[in-house]
């Protein structure tokens, strides 16, 4: 008897007793008859971001237009290289549907990607996959101008992600209300840190409306700076 008590004491002291079970995560619920396949929708807004900014990704999970609640939706992406999918799908975010079956998250891809939403099989609902959509990440390029005199315009700017030793085109357009497309009027090269700086001769009798443009790469879409209107070179 004493031996059994000792063994029992050792078992307790050694932590061999089973710990109380943690409450199970609630399974998804909802939907409505008949038992048709559920539908997982997804919307990306905007479909093009700049310089690793984030897009909103949202959707709904429903069966016969009835909400499926507490469902874990996995947002997955895969890179686009030269416009073609590359690599495997990877989960980048997980969102939970609310009482209306709606889910929402965000994604800052950094590169061009394909995106889909996946609900893994759980509870009474089968694995469900949304449509596959494209999210482009354009190169973010800035442009700042000054007019130092002698009929010249000085340009500086940055690129994100860093674009080293790349051509930057300075482009011109008509005044507001008179847009007829963009025309390349000059170019420069970025430095190793992705910045650029150049001074260009201009016509002091002309008012310029300019932007900077950089071509896309195998993994990022082309980028344009904002337009600076009414640049007037000084004598």
User: pLDDT digit string (tens) for 50-67?
Assistant: 998 999 999 999 999 999
Q: Evaluate if residue 29 carries a pLDDT over 90.
A: no
Is the pTM of the predicted complex or chain greater than 0.75?
Answer: yes
Q: How far apart are CA 101 and CA 209, in angstroms?
A: 48
The token duo for 102 is 């709606």
Per-residue pLDDT tens for 120-160?
999 999 999 999 999 999 999 999 999 999 999 999 999 99
Q: Which two tokens stand for residue 51?
A: 């310089």
Contact predicate 103/59, CB 8 Å: yes
Tens-place pLDDT, residues 161-202: 999 999 999 999 999 999 999 999 999 999 999 999 999 999
- Cα separation, 57 vs 118, in Å, equals 13
Range with lowest mean pLDDT among 33-37, 155-159, 204-208, 228-232:
33-37
- Which pLDDT band holds residue 25 (cuts at 50, 70, 90)? low
As a whole number of angstroms, the distance between CA 212 and CA 5 comes to 83
- 94-112 average pLDDT score: 97
pLDDT of residue 3: 41
Ordered structural domains, the chain, with CATH: 27-138 (2.60.40.10), 140-231 (2.60.40.10)
13 torsion bin: left (phi>0), alpha (psi -120 to 50), beta (else)? alpha
Return d(Cα 115, Cα 6) in angstroms, integer: 60
């Amino acid at each position: 008897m004493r031996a059994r008590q000792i063994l029992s004491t050792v078992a307790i002291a050694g932590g061999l007793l089973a710990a109380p079970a943690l409450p199970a995560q609630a399974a998804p619920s909802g939907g409505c008859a008949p038992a048709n396949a559920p539908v997982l929708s997804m919307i990306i807004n905007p479909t093009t971001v700049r310089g690793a900014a984030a897009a909103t990704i949202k959707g709904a999970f429903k069966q016969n237009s009835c909400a499926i609640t507490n469902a874990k939706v996995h947002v997955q992406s895969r890179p686009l290289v030269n416009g073609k999918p590359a690599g495997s799908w990877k989960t980048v975010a997980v969102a939970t549907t609310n009482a209306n079956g709606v889910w929402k998250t965000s994604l800052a891809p950094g590169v061009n990607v394909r995106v889909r939403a996946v609900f893994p099989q759980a509870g009474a609902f089968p694995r469900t996959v949304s449509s596959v959509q494209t999210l482009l990440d354009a190169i973010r390029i800035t442009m700042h101008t000054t007019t130092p005199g002698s009929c010249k315009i000085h340009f500086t700017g940055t690129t994100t992600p860093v674009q080293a030793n790349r051509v930057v085109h300075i482009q011109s357009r008509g005044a507001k209300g008179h847009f007829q497309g963009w025309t390349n009027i000059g170019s420069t090269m970025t430095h190793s840190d992705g910045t650029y700086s150049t001074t260009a001769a201009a016509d002091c009798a002309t008012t310029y409306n300019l932007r900077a443009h950089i071509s896309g790469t195998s993994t990022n879409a082309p980028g344009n700076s904002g337009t600076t209107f009414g640049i007037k070179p000084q004598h």
